[in-house]
Copies of this chain bind each other. A is one copy, B any other.
């Protein structure tokens, strides 16, 4: 007879916090709500709503926003809305080429942002110093009082060790091996920190921005990756390393991937590969140095622009990429019974004009449960900051979202304020 670990019980303190979060989230979703509407929306009693509203007002997290004159009798209803300055969260997105830092207020608005090109990723310590300094700059610029800053969310390329807050061994950051990024940033900033995978942070951002249901966030950049939200909850898998889709084979006769096989979707999505195809097809003049990243990026932008302009060889090359990606999206959508794909990442803006139609057409006949519900193709509304916004949303999410899992476990935020 052994005591095997199971779920933990819950208690009234946690339920109180849970219900506060339910109310806060209901206000966030509808922007303004009266107490009566809150009771309707949450299923909580009028008395419970009154107590919770009082607590949230006292804590400076919500504010009164005028009165609503209804058609019925009785006194006009006071509307409640979020107090934007009630809390702030810092988001840091570590990309192999650039670090983005944003500060979100309680409503999820970015009130400050900075970008920092990475010149020397080979010295993690130096880079972490620079990130910490950038965070201080952003806080200073925003004027946000430090005691209202809930924490720092960090979005990093996988694989990560989320328990230890460690960046394990990302393919495009050669010198980063077991770097304890979360604790290093906590020590430098004195703020609670949380680390998650870049694509998961992006999926969290989309959810926070209003994407509901079940969807895949499909990242198109130097690599490809997937963030997952199923039934309104961000999916993290066994070790927060979901979304490694780069080695799905989409073209067995395609280019050799570093993994040793041919035609991995990650490899065939590289600007380098597409530019080579374009040179081969005579769309781009020969002589480009395929190892010169900047030259390749410029040529790639030209190829995408030409594809967007109309039919022709350039469009065929980009459309073929869209078809390959569509097959991966199809397989993920059928596996997970999703409502939607949301595309994003640094290449998305250039690819979108060609991609949307091709992917939608490819999926229309291929999504297997379309008899039960449709499948949508969308692009991010958060632009290039989606990773950093997502990182900050991890902090907002943990503090304010009524995720049922919050009832069972303590917060993943490490460090006390």
Q: Give the interface of A toward B (CB within 8 A).
A: 1-12, 15, 18-19, 22-23, 25-26, 29-33, 37, 40-44, 48, 68, 79, 158-161, 168-169, 213-214, 226, 228, 230-231, 235-245, 247-249, 252, 327, 330-332, 334-339, 366, 368-369, 371-373, 402, 404-405, 407-408
Contact = CB atoms under 8 A, between A and B. Distances in A.
B213 A238 contact: yes
Contact of A7 (B25, B159, B405): B25
B337 A33 contact: no
A339 B238 contact: yes
One complex includes copies of this chain to the number of 2
Residue from A9, A30, A40, A240 having most chain B Cβ neighbours under 10 A = A9
Contacts of A247: 330-331, 334, 366, 368
A71 to B, nearest CB: 15
Nearest to A168: B371
A31 B42 CA distance: 38
Contacts of A242: 335-337
A368 B237 contact: no
Contacts of A79: 1
Contact of A244 (B15, B230, B334, B407): B334
Contact of A238 (B5, B33, B160, B214): B214
Contacts of A12: 15
A244 B32 CA distance: 41
14 contacts: A3-B40, A6-B25, A6-B41, A8-B42, A9-B44, A168-B371, A213-B238, A228-B336, A231-B236, A237-B337, A239-B372, A241-B372, A247-B330, A404-B405
Given A42-B8, A44-B9, A237 B3 contact: no
Contacts of A238: 213-214, 230-231, 337-339, 373
B337 A241 contact: yes
A41 B9 CA distance: 9
Contacts of A161: 372
Residue from A240, A369, A371 having most chain B Cβ neighbours under 10 A = A369
Given A10-B15, A161-B372, A237 B4 contact: no
A42 B237 contact: no
Contacts of A169: 371
Residue from A7, A11, A30, A31 having most chain B Cβ neighbours under 10 A = A7
Contacts of A404: 404-405, 407-408
B336 A237 contact: yes
B43 A8 contact: yes
B22 A4 contact: no
A213 to B, nearest CB: 6
Given A7-B402, A231-B237, A404-B407, 8 more contacts: A3-B41, A9-B22, A12-B15, A161-B372, A242-B335, A243-B335, A247-B366, A404-B408
B337 A244 contact: yes
A119 to B, nearest CB: 28
Nearest to A225: B335
A369 B158 contact: yes
Nearest to A406: B404
A239 B373 contact: yes
Contact of A1 (B7, B26, B31, B214): B31
Contacts of A30: 1-4
A247 B42 CA distance: 41
A48 to B, nearest CB: 7
B336 A235 contact: yes
Contact of A230 (B25, B48, B237): B237
Contacts of A40: 3
A340 to B, nearest CB: 9
Contacts of A331: 245, 247-248, 331
